[in-house]
């Protein structure tokens, strides 16, 4: 009796288990076959997904190449994707890395994770924004600017305002352990030298600068009138201006003898040993095109095109009209690693 | 033979998926250039920053534990032991935050109290200066985690109240009023449940990553994640996780000494039907108002804020167009994860309940230990172990996400199974054995059907936790396989608040879908039986 009742149920259980194994096996086979597919490209992205995803979708539409992506989160301070690239060095999963600044691209080059590729579409991008050996190419940049509360009668015009007693306790800066603030401080160390830059950092601390968690928060503080100015990325400033907040944007140190504004281009990198090299080159060409730069200029991220002659929105100056800080991004990358203990100590950690 | 083989396979699977990645990570953290070195751990004791982080973690967990216990236990007594009006409604209401991912509650509070929040829009920017400091840092984390974990002491108090033999209380009532009975009989009897809930809340708060990270409060899990993500330092990330592991171990030892045997006997008392309720008398209205206010603040406000913020079809259309694929993936992975967790939890629970191997206690501790470890640690461990060309069939496929779920959440389904098995008389299985039924047959036809409620509860819990996971998935998901919580996190960077709120509402709907369906089916069956 028991055997009679049991048999159908047993069959069902065995069938379900077999079906499960079959589906699992097929899915695994499907996913592991993906590397052999030339119509796929895998990209790790540090640029905000809100801005990067539409560009990647347009690439899919125009080329028919499917893009699969890993996006960084704000919480990973935009370095999670790069970490995965480092962790996967011996077993690369990605073909392309879209960095939101060139320092990480330099770190990848120094760690032997990237491969050279000189895109024909990047010929007229200024050499200062490209790796001379082709390991990364810059496009669509942010400038480091001062966001200033509109209610002020007098406006700071230099980053040295941070050390000016006139602005004591009235300025804010994002945590220098992360992001573009770290990069800019490292850039200052490369152009001023260790002594002058250390003195500058000590002076801004003595001038009671406030520390925020991000450039966005700094811009919000200035917009709310809690502080008078802050060094932020141009997209943070433009974003608040477009929202109608009482702030304006000042490109710092534009005088003839000024050091200029630190420029932070996006950077695209070909990954060494990536599974889809041909599709990867297609994507890199697409990202470096004038059309992509135009789209990113008019998106909410308001990035400055590096190709000459690409239209920009009214809030932005074209790159040719900005006095830029002349730095070697490779030196900046090396300095950033060196500076970590100094910056931690500066933060009191 | 089949029993040993099946349970042995369960142990091997748990070891491969859960323990081996952690061991592999620990090994790599103590090997520098091929030599043994503790350099990564050197900074642990000497760095004042580590002590500050430890202090932050301890303060946060202690405050959350104290608050949830102080309010959750009386709430559990009110809802489980008194004649409070609408108590069934409140039981359901207060469970809702436990079903919602903690960071969504945090998003909701930010939408209410943040600089761009509803209060700021209604009352002006002056309010921002008062509310923003409240939200970010310790106070915000305590508020959010309190509301998320409040159901734990409440539910455990209610469950332990049901295990008390009513005759004990009736005997007490002959010589004393309810106050004396509660003080001398009821509360001492539910004390293990209170301690268990306090331990669970402490561990969950201690290992919580998403809320302190979102609300910018530096604690150990955030440090571990930052060491990995911002400084790409595997070894430092592992070292930063060691204090967490140590605290977890200490609490497990405490649990082993004081609570373990008690928690396995969570069976309703035989005389339950006759259990008397405490009459609240004149205090009914006042207490009802108090409970309603707590429900309003803890449950109603966060959900309503999200509804208001996401109001309008446009936000939902955009949410589904941007994250429809992620939603589908989340549902599929959560269903697969929950099903595998149920099976693994079933056999692990059986192994523990029957003490099938001499090392059964180690298996139990291992699953709890993995559950209490921060997700980031497990995620890093999985990358360390599985990221090789030979294991690409795991690492570059969604299996790596499923492995993460199994490593982290088996403790939940195994504990639920243990509780369920404790209610099945061993004579049932023994009778089948005497009748000649082999072990696997007994499992399929005797034990599993008798434990079906536990299996279903385990599946639901597995589904909810798999669906809401961020810590592990964020670190290991293969390109093109991001889940909805990850999509919410990545879109938070410069995504519009309306879009994020709509995505959070979609996430809540996806979480509540299976419990809702189950409740409806159960309700229909009840009505059919009555009819």
Task: Give residue-wise pLDDT tens across range B357-369.
Answer: 888 888 988 898 8
Q: By three-state DSSP, how is residue A294 classified?
A: helix
Least confident window among B237-246, B319-328, B420-429:
B237-246
Question: How much is the pLDDT for A5?
Answer: 47
- Distance CA(B148)–CA(B98), nearest Å, equals 5
**Residue range B426-468, pLDDT digits in tens:** 888 888 888 888 888 888 888 888 888 888 888 988 998 999 8
For chain B, which domains are there? 1-30+312-531 (1.10.3720.10), 49-266+280-308 (1.10.3720.10)
Q: Choose the mutation target among A9, A13, A51, A83 for the interface with B, i.e. most B CBs under 10 Å.
A: A83
Chain B residues with CB under 8 Å of A34 CB are: 396
Q: 354-383 in B: which are within 8 Å (CB) of A? A: 383
Q: Choose the mutation target among B116, B494, B500, B503 for the interface with A, i.e. most A CBs under 10 Å.
A: B494
Look at phi and psi of residue B86 and say left if phi exceeds 0, alpha if psi is from -120 to 50, else beta.
left
Question: How much is the pLDDT for B128?
Answer: 65
Q: Could you tell me if B128 lies within 8 Å of chain A, comparing CB atoms? A: yes
**Residue range A9-63, pLDDT digits in tens:** 566 666 667 777 777 776 666 666 555 566 899 999 988 888 899 999 999 999 9
Q: Is the pLDDT of residue B42 over 80?
A: no
Q: Could you tell me if B24 lies within 8 Å of chain A, comparing CB atoms? A: no
**Residue range B191-235, pLDDT digits in tens:** 888 888 898 899 888 878 778 877 878 887 777 666 665 556 667
Question: How much is the pLDDT for B224?
Answer: 67
Q: Are B380 and B451 in contact (CB under 8 A)?
A: no
Please give the DSSP secondary-structure letter assigned to residue B271.
Answer: T
Please report which confidence band the pLDDT of residue B170 belongs to, taking 50, 70 and 90 as the band edges.
Answer: confident
Q: Which residues pair with A225 in a beta bridge?
A: none
**Residue range B277-310, pLDDT digits in tens:** 788 888 888 999 999 999 998 888 888 888 888 8
Chain B residues with CB under 8 Å of A28 CB are: 393, 397, 399
CATH 3.40.190.10 segments of chain A: 38-141+264-317, 142-262+340-346
Considering the segment(s) A142-262+340-346 as one domain, its CATH architecture is 3-Layer(aba) Sandwich (3.40)
Q: By three-state DSSP, how is residue B257 classified?
A: helix
Q: Is the pLDDT of residue A78 over 60?
A: no
Q: Choose the mutation target among A75, A239, A348 for the interface with B, i.e. most B CBs under 10 Å.
A: A75
Of A35, A68, A82, the CB nearest to B232: A82
**B138-160 average pLDDT score:** 89
Q: Closest Cα partner for B360 from B370, B369, B349, B371?
A: B349
Question: How much is the pLDDT for A1?
Answer: 40
Interface predicted TM-score (ipTM) over 0.90: no
- Distance CA(A15)–CA(A21), nearest Å, equals 10
**Residue range B261-280, pLDDT digits in tens:** 555 555 555 555 556 778 88
- Distance CA(A218)–CA(A231), nearest Å, equals 8
- Distance CA(B301)–CA(B111), nearest Å, equals 11
Q: Choose the mutation target among B230, B237, B395 for the interface with A, i.e. most A CBs under 10 Å.
A: B230
Least confident window among A39-53, A183-197, B97-111, B306-320:
B97-111
- Distance CA(B470)–CA(B209), nearest Å, equals 9
Longest dimension (CA), chain A: 99
Q: Closest Cα partner for A163 from A117, A113, A106, A202?
A: A202
Beta strands in A151-262 (DSSP E): 171-174, 210-212, 229-233, 247-250
Chain A residues with CB under 8 Å of B445 CB are: 2, 6, 9
Chain B residues with CB under 8 Å of A26 CB are: none
- The nearest alpha carbon in chain A to B440 belongs to A10
Q: Could you tell me if B440 lies within 8 Å of chain A, comparing CB atoms? A: no
Burial class, B355, CB count within 10 angstroms (exposed 0-12 / middle 13-18 / buried 19+): exposed
Q: Tell which wins on pLDDT, B361 or B339.
A: B339
Look at phi and psi of residue A112 and say left if phi exceeds 0, alpha if psi is from -120 to 50, else beta.
left
**A113-122 average pLDDT score:** 95
Question: How much is the pLDDT for A273?
Answer: 93
Q: Are A78 and A46 in contact (CB under 8 A)?
A: yes
CB within 8 Å: A300 and B494: yes
Cα–chain-centroid distance for residue A211?
21
- Distance CA(A240)–CA(A219), nearest Å, equals 7
Q: Tell which wins on pLDDT, B255 or B261.
A: B255
**B390-399 average pLDDT score:** 89
**Residue range B483-525, pLDDT digits in tens:** 998 888 877 766 777 888 898 889 888 988 888 888 888 778 7
Please report which confidence band the pLDDT of residue B12 belongs to, taking 50, 70 and 90 as the band edges.
Answer: very high
H/E run at residue B233: none
Mean pLDDT, all residues of chain A: 87
Question: How much is the pLDDT for A2?
Answer: 44
Q: Is the pLDDT of residue A173 over 90?
A: yes
- The nearest alpha carbon in chain B to A41 belongs to B479
Q: Are A67 and A53 in contact (CB under 8 A)?
A: no
Considering the segment(s) A38-141+264-317 as one domain, its CATH architecture is 3-Layer(aba) Sandwich (3.40)
- Distance CA(A300)–CA(A283), nearest Å, equals 22
Q: Is the pLDDT of residue A132 over 90?
A: yes
Own/partner contacts of A239-242, CB < 8 Å, gap of 24 or more, are A239/A300, A239/A302, A239/B494, A240/A147, A241/A315, A242/A300, A242/A302, A242/A315
- The nearest alpha carbon in chain B to A96 belongs to B479
Q: 313-332 in B: which are within 8 Å (CB) of A? A: 322
């Amino acid at each position: 009796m028991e055997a009679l009742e049991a048999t159908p149920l047993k069959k069902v259980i065995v069938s379900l288990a077999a079906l499960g194994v079959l589906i699992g096996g097929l899915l695994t086979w499907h996913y592991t076959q993906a590397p052999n597919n030339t119509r796929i490209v895998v990209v790790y992205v540090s640029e905000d997904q809100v801005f990067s995803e539409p560009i990647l979708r347009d690439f899919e539409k125009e080329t028919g190449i499917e893009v699969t992506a890993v996006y960084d989160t704000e919480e990973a301070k935009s370095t999670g994707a790069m970490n995965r690239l480092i962790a996967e060095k011996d077993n690369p999963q990605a073909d392309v890395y879209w960095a939101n600044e060139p320092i990480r691209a330099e770190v990848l080059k120094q760690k032997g994770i990237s491969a050279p590729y000189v895109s024909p579409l990047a010929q007229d991008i200024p050499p200062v924004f490209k790796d001379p050996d082709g390991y990364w190419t810059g496009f669509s940049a942010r400038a480091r600017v001062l966001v200033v509360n509109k209610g002020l009668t007098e406006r700071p015009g230099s980053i040295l305002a941070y050390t000016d007693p006139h602005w004591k306790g009235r300025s804010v800066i994002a945590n220098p352990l992360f992001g573009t603030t770290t990069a800019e401080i490292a850039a200052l160390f490369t152009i001023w030298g260790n002594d002058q830059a250390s003195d500058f950092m000590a002076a801004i601390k003595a001038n009671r600068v406030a520390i925020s968690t991000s450039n966005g928060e700094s811009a919000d503080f200035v917009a709310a009138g809690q502080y008078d100015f802050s060094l932020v990325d141009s997209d943070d400033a433009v974003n608040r201006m477009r929202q109608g907040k009482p702030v304006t944007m000042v490109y710092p140190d534009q005088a003839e003898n000024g050091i200029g504004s630190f420029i932070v281009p996006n950077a695209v990198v070909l990954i060494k040993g990536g599974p889809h090299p041909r599709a990867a080159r297609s994507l890199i060409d697409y990202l470096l095109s004038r059309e992509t730069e135009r789209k990113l200029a008019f998106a909410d991220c308001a990035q400055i095109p590096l190709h000459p002659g690409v239209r920009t929105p009214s809030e932005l100056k074209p790159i040719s009209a900005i006095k830029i800080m002349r730095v070697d991004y490779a030196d900046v990358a090396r300095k950033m690693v060196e500076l970590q203990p100094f910056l931690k100590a500066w933060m009191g950690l | 033979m089949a029993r040993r083989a099946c349970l042995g396979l369960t142990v091997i699977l748990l070891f491969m998926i859960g323990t081996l990645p952690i061991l592999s990570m620990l090994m790599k953290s103590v090997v520098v250039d091929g030599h043994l070195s503790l350099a990564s751990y050197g900074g642990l004791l000497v760095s004042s920053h580590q002590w500050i982080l430890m202090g932050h973690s301890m303060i946060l967990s202690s405050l959350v534990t104290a608050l949830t216990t102080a309010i959750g236990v009386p709430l559990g007594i009110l809802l489980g032991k008194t004649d409070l009006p609408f108590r069934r409604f409140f039981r359901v209401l207060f469970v809702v935050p436990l079903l919602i991912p903690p960071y969504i509650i945090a998003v909701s509070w930010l939408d209410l109290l943040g600089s761009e929040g509803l209060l700021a829009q209604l009352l002006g920017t002056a309010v921002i200066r008062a509310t923003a400091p409240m939200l970010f840092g310790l106070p915000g984390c305590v508020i959010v985690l309190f509301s998320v974990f409040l159901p734990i002491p409440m539910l455990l108090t209610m469950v332990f109240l049901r295990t008390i033999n009513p005759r004990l209380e009736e005997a007490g009532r002959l010589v004393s009023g309810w106050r004396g009975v509660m003080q001398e009989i009821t509360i001492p009897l539910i004390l293990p449940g209170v301690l268990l809930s306090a331990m669970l809340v402490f561990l969950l708060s201690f290992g919580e990553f998403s809320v302190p990270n979102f609300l910018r409060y530096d604690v150990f899990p955030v440090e571990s994640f930052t060491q990995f993500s911002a400084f790409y330092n595997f070894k430092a990330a592992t070292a930063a996780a060691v204090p967490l592991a140590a605290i977890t171990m200490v609490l497990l030892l405490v649990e082993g000494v004081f609570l373990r045997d008690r928690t396995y006997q969570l069976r309703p008392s035989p005389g339950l039907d006759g259990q008397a309720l405490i009459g609240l008398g004149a205090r009914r209205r006042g207490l009802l108002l108090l409970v309603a206010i707590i429900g309003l603040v803890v449950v109603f406000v966060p959900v309503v804020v999200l509804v208001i913020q996401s109001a309008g079809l446009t936000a939902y259309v955009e949410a589904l167009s941007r994250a429809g694929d992620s939603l589908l993936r989340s549902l599929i992975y959560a269903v697969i994860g929950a099903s595998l967790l149920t099976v693994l939890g079933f056999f692990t629970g059986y192994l523990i309940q029957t003490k099938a191997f001499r090392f059964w206690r180690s298996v139990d501790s291992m699953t709890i230990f993995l559950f209490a470890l921060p997700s980031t640690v497990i995620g890093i461990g999985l990358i360390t172990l599985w990221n090789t060309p030979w294991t690409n069939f795991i690492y570059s496929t969604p299996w790596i996400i499923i492995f993460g779920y199994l490593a982290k959440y088996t403790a939940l389904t195994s504990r639920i199974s243990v509780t369920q098995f404790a209610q099945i008389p061993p004579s049932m299985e023994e009778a089948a054995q005497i009748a000649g039924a082999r072990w696997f047959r007994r499992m399929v036809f005797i034990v599993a059907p008798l434990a079906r409620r536990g299996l279903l509860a385990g599946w639901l819990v597995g589904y909810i936790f798999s669906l809401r996971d961020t810590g592990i998935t964020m670190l290991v998901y293969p390109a093109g396989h991001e889940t909805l919580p990850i999509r919410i996190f990545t879109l938070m960077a410069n995504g519009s608040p309306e879009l994020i709120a709509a995505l959070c509402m979609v996430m809540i709907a996806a979480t509540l879908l299976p419990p809702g369906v189950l409740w409806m089916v159960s309700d229909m069956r009840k009505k059919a039986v009555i009819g």
